[in-house]
Amino acid sequence: MILIFPVAVSLFLFGTWMVIGYFDTCILEATDPKFDCWAGVQIFMVFAGIGAGLAGLMALLARVLLHTFMRPGTSRLEWVSALVSGVLLVLLFYGIIHWQLGTGMKLGARLALWLGISFFVCALSLMIVRRLIREVGK
């Protein structure tokens, strides 16, 4: 039950990034001219996999740390929380990349910031979704 949330977050992030990557590289053709559509998608796939894996680790950390504070819920709550986390993380990270925020930061600081954002969003979505769904169910 504890692994549902981090795996779902990773799957949602990877899938959403792949859709964005395909749209960016193949439909909008916003890539380097030396790469064709498929090569651009493959490069995007590598980075999307790395990002989804790291966000999944942060989701696992958030889930484990919040496990003692939260009553056990259903797997439906985990999937909804993962969907909310995935959408928010993709929107945040795509905005950071698109608007080139934090370009003056060193690579280690940028990675730490992204991991912190992932942890914070995952923990917050777990708590808020559980609270809202339990309130609606009453």
What is the SS3 assignment for 99? coil
What element of type H or E holds 64? helix 37-67
Structure confidence by residue, pLDDT tens digits, 108-123: 888 898 899 999 999 9
Whether the pLDDT of residue 138 is over 60: the answer is no
Structure confidence by residue, pLDDT tens digits, 62-105: 999 988 777 666 788 889 999 999 999 998 988 887 787 767 77
Specify the amino acid at residue 46.
Answer: V
Structure confidence by residue, pLDDT tens digits, 15-60: 999 998 888 888 887 667 777 888 888 988 999 999 999 999 999 9
Q: What is the mean pLDDT of the chain?
A: 86
